[in-house]
Chain A
Amino acid sequence: MPEPTAQIHAARPSRNVFRRLGPILLFCFTAVLAVLTVSPLLWMICASLKPGDETFSPNMLPQHWTLENFQYVFTASPFWRYMINSFFVAGTITVIALWFHSMAGFALARLKFPGRELIFLIIFSTFLVSLPVIIVPLFILVRQMGMVNSYAGLIIPAIFNAFGIFLLRQFYIAIPQELQEAAVIDGASYFRIYWSVMLPLSRPILAALAVFFFLANWNAFIWPLTITNDRNLWVVQIAIASFHQQYSSSWNYIMAGSAIIAVPTLLLFFIFQRQLVESIKTSGLK
């Protein structure tokens, strides 16, 4: 037998061991990494269930389980009010944004008109403008419009973003032309085509975007921070941040507040994760 073959035969047992052990090791590594990744969130939820003197105990799980922190958050502040504000603001933005973006996306994808490419390019270029960069002029503008400390100021500027338009346009481009032509032959108006043909077809992507927009606006901080200082208009993120300034050492209360505002987003994620992940994937493609 020639030398090289003999070497390969000699090497085979160890390679086999690696082949069998490799996936197991990778699995263990991935599992440990995944647990480490979620552990800060688990720690936060555990800390919200511990009495104050246990916050910094080395144990992750509470020794004495308690709901007293949650009680305190709801009695020491009108936390319900902040949650309703957040819900109202994020919900309104989501509904109006989906309506506007689906109309614009439909027109850009399915209708022919002069300047279509240019308009799309201009809309798409605003994709790269992020809020922190324009926050000073935007604030001055919105202040001149008299929208400081108002729901309008919280809601209206947050409706417009190119991301939703782009995603819906991509979706509408993929819809077969025949459906639209059939509607045209039936004498349907363009609004009718949009409302009765396109909107029902785009239910899945609208659901995905709805979760996406709601989460983003429920979690938004910098704009509500800038545009409101009236306590009655506070959203949950502002409330918990000022809670933090007020009771900087009572971490158990702050963690309880954090858990209250994080749990709805976690629930939304677990229910709609497929849709959410789909919309992120689409945004990354082309």
Chain B
Amino acid sequence: MRTLLDAPSKVEKRPVMGRSGPRLKRSQREALAAYLFILPDALGLAIFVALPMLFSLSLGFFSVNGFGGFRFVGLANYQRMLIDPLFRQSLWVTFVYVLILVPALYVAGLGLALLVNRPMPFVGVFRSMFFVPNVVSLVVVALTWQVMLVDKVGFINRIFEFFGVSGYSWLGDPNITLYSILFVTVWFLMGYYMIIFLSGLQEIPREYYDAARIDGAGPAATFFRITLPLLRPTSFFVLLVSLVSAVSGSQAFDLIYIMTRGGPDNSTSLVIFYIYQQAFQFNNYGYAAAMASFLVLILLIVTFILFAVTKGGRFHFT
């Protein structure tokens, strides 16, 4: 059977029985084939990613009940956002979370990559060991750390006790809990960023290091004058991905849902968790969407700033 996707054949000029309409030129066929190839994914992305994105911007102007009824409420949801102390608190928690997580991941990822980028026995095994937390689900990670961080008798407190430090409530003290979550997040993600940095490091030509050694450059000078500048595209990627995933709570949501539920005293209630609670616990879909669109705005601004500062990751020297 011949279809429109078939390549042109030598008998093209001859009229084919049973085929109606004009035959397509080769370039037209190629384009048609391409559109058909892309169609399933394009349609899916449009419906399940782009549409919700646009939908979230308009949903904020409605009140939505649990059965799918919509009522236009104008700016009411946005006004509520301004006076909601829990929303303001969640913004602050998110700010602290992002401010610590992004640099911590950068340092941990790059540090590990530098550590395992040199020849040493078992280096492949070590790389795998640093990466392995990343293949376990965040639910399992959350549950495991929750047991280990239990007050008094938990494994972590036993270790601290051994060194004469005791009495910390890692998931019960509002001043500490966010940092416990941050620690677990870094533990989970550092291996992933290690691999990204490793591939960046391995792209740097060896000659630069040889030349530096001949010139008598020490390890510090080599790192700041060669490694760091040449890693800039990788750094940009790492900063962008870690920033976006930190603001949108890609890892934090699962951890917080299992370990703290936003507590104690709302100290771990990230915006993304508060939005989820408002939507699916209190059925305030419209209000949740209004907050989500605010979050999207923040994401756009942050991404824009990152692109502007780094000139799209190209980072030319001054």
A103 near B38: Cβ-Cβ < 8 Å: yes
A140 near B55: Cβ-Cβ < 8 Å: yes
Alpha-carbon distance between A123 and B147 when the two chains are bound, in angstroms = 41
Could you give, for residues 125-165 of chain B, a 1 whenever the CB lies within 8 Å of some chain A CB and a 0 otherwise? 11011111101111110011101101001110010000000
B30 near A111: Cβ-Cβ < 8 Å: yes
Q: Is A218 an interface residue (CB 8 A)?
A: yes
**Chain B 178-200 interface residues, beta-carbon cutoff 8 Å to A:** 187, 191-192, 195-196, 198-200
Contacts of B220 in A (CB 8 A): none
Could you give, for residues 202-225 of chain B, a 1 whenever the CB lies within 8 Å of some chain A CB and a 0 otherwise? 010000000000000000000000
Alpha-carbon distance between A161 and B195 when the two chains are bound, in angstroms = 22
- Quick one: which of B56, B132, B191, B238 contacts A134, CB cutoff 8 A? B56
Q: Is A254 an interface residue (CB 8 A)?
A: yes
When C-beta atoms are compared, the residue in chain B nearest to A225 turns out to be B257
**Given A133-B299, A262-B140, A285-B199, also A116-B33 (CB < 8 A):** no
Q: Is B107 an interface residue (CB 8 A)?
A: no
Q: Is A152 an interface residue (CB 8 A)?
A: no
B285 near A136: Cβ-Cβ < 8 Å: yes
Alpha-carbon distance between A218 and B137 when the two chains are bound, in angstroms = 8
B144 near A30: Cβ-Cβ < 8 Å: no
Alpha-carbon distance between A276 and B192 when the two chains are bound, in angstroms = 11
Q: Is A75 an interface residue (CB 8 A)?
A: no
A266 near B136: Cβ-Cβ < 8 Å: yes
Contact segment of B81-89, B167-175, B246-254: B246-254
Contacts of B29 in A (CB 8 A): 190
Chain A count of residues within 8 A CB distance of the other chain: 96
Alpha-carbon distance between A113 and B128 when the two chains are bound, in angstroms = 43
Known: A31-B122, A132-B275, A284-B238; 7 extra A-B contacts, CB below 8 A, are A38-B129, A101-B41, A104-B41, A126-B50, A133-B56, A187-B6, A280-B196
**Footprint of B on A, CB under 8 Å?**
23, 26-27, 29-31, 33-35, 37-38, 40-41, 43-44, 47, 55-56, 58, 60, 100-101, 103-104, 106-108, 111-114, 116, 119, 123, 126, 128-141, 143-144, 156-157, 159-162, 165, 184, 187-191, 194, 215, 218-219, 221-222, 225-226, 237, 240-241, 244, 251, 254-255, 258, 261-262, 265-266, 268-270, 273, 276-277, 280-281, 283-286
